[in-house]
Amino acid sequence: MLTLNRMDGILNCVPKSCIVADIGTDHGYIPVKLIERNIANYVIASDISSYSIEKAQTLIERKNLTDRIYTRVGYGLSILRPREVEVAIIAGLGGTLIAEILEKDKEIASTISKFVLQPMQQQRALREYLLNSGYTIENEILVREDRNRYYVIMVVEHGQEDVMDDLDYYLGRRLVEKRDPLLPEYILYNIKKRCDILANLKKSRNANIVSDKQLKLEREIERLKEVYEHVCKG
Ligand SMILES: C[S@@+](CC[C@H](N)C(=O)[O-])C[C@H]1O[C@@H](n2cnc3c(N)ncnc32)[C@H](O)[C@@H]1O
């Protein structure tokens, strides 16, 4: 099986020949790769930090790509005009911050057809926001770097998606539906994470008191085990 790194995973999710915004570009690696690999026609690379944009601009000039990548400084999607780009990438930020960025400039967001989102943490919070705010998660992929550093990459469009099961928030429906190759180990990793939290919770409180948090974790562990049995082994 070909294993992708985080960067390749993100690039693979961007459709060919589009006009792309890379929000929170930092060093500018994503826009440079989008042009070098002939994926995007041109890219608007932005960051809230002017220091990051200086770094990105230096790289873009060194690569002679100033006619294909344009830099801007500012918060989230506010640096864009309506319909200026077809795809927006927001990668390497927390899920809650990505949700805030989409929410803050809803009108701009409504003119962008596709989003490639890669939350570093709070994936559940991001899915909850998306699925309750008129977005649909078209696809999700998992990538792993090192031994157990997992990244979730979401391809998101506008639309309505019904949520039948809490699992859609904390695991991701598309990962299960298409049986992502990393799903079995990712489920085991998630079970272990919850078991560790549960063990710490039990240590820190009177063992007779069963909290809501404990019950929720136990339910999620059971559900994850079921999915593991049915989807990954079945
Ligand atoms: C960890 S870097 C990610 C760089 C790159 N996107 C990647 O995935 O490799 C996060 C970047 O997001 C920028 N950032 C944080 N909040 C932002 C916001 N609200 N709007 C735009 N950029 C933001 C930070 O300044 C930082 O450069």
The residue extents of the domains of the chain are 6-160, 183-233
Task: Look up the CATH number of domain 6-160.
Answer: 3.40.50.150
Distance CA(206)–CA(3), nearest Å, equals 45
pLDDT in tens, 49-70: 999 999 999 999 999 999 999 9
pLDDT in tens, 164-207: 899 999 999 999 999 999 999 999 999 999 999 999 888 886 66
Give residue 156 CA to ligand 1 midpoint distance, Å.
19
Q: Give mean pLDDT, residues 140-165.
A: 93
Q: In the prediction, which pLDDT does 64 show?
A: 98
State the number of CA atoms in the 13 A half-sphere of 49 facing the CB. 10
pLDDT in tens, 28-51: 999 999 999 999 999 999 999 999
What distances in angstroms separate CA 58 from CA 80, 82, 213, one per listed residue? 22, 28, 48
Ligand 1 is surrounded, with C-beta below 6 A, by 23-26, 30, 47-49, 52, 75-76, 91-93, 97, 101
Smallest CA separation from ligand 1 atom 25, residue: 49
Smallest CA separation from ligand 1 atom 7, residue: 92
Per the model's pLDDT, the better-predicted residue between 162 and 113 turns out to be: 113
| pTM of the complete model | 0.96
Give residue 181 CA to ligand 1 midpoint distance, Å.
29
Structural element, H or E, at residue 214: helix 212-227
Single out the residue of 227, 114, 110, 216 nearest to residue 173, CA to CA: 227
Smallest CA separation from ligand 1 atom 14, residue: 24
Q: In the prediction, which pLDDT does 207 show?
A: 64
Secondary structure string (H, E, C) spanning 128-196: HHHHCCCEEEEEEEEEEECCCEEEEEEEEEECCCCCCCCHHHHCCHHHHHCCCCCHHHHHHHHHHHHHH
Question: Closest ligand 1 atom, CA of 29?
Answer: 9
Q: In the prediction, which pLDDT does 3 show?
A: 65
pLDDT in tens, 64-123: 999 999 999 999 999 999 999 999 999 999 999 999 999 999 999 999 999 999 999 999
Structural element, H or E, at residue 14: none
> Do 176 and 183 form a contact (C-beta atoms < 8 A)?
yes
Q: In the prediction, which pLDDT does 174 show?
A: 96
Q: Give the pLDDT band of residue 148 (cuts 50, 70, 90).
A: confident
Distance CA(69)–CA(161), nearest Å, equals 34
Give residue 110 CA to ligand 1 midpoint distance, Å.
21
Give residue 79 CA to ligand 1 midpoint distance, Å.
14
Residue of 7, 10, 14, 26 with the most ligand 1 atoms within 8 Å of its CB, for mutation: 26
Q: In the prediction, which pLDDT does 119 show?
A: 98
SS3 51: helix
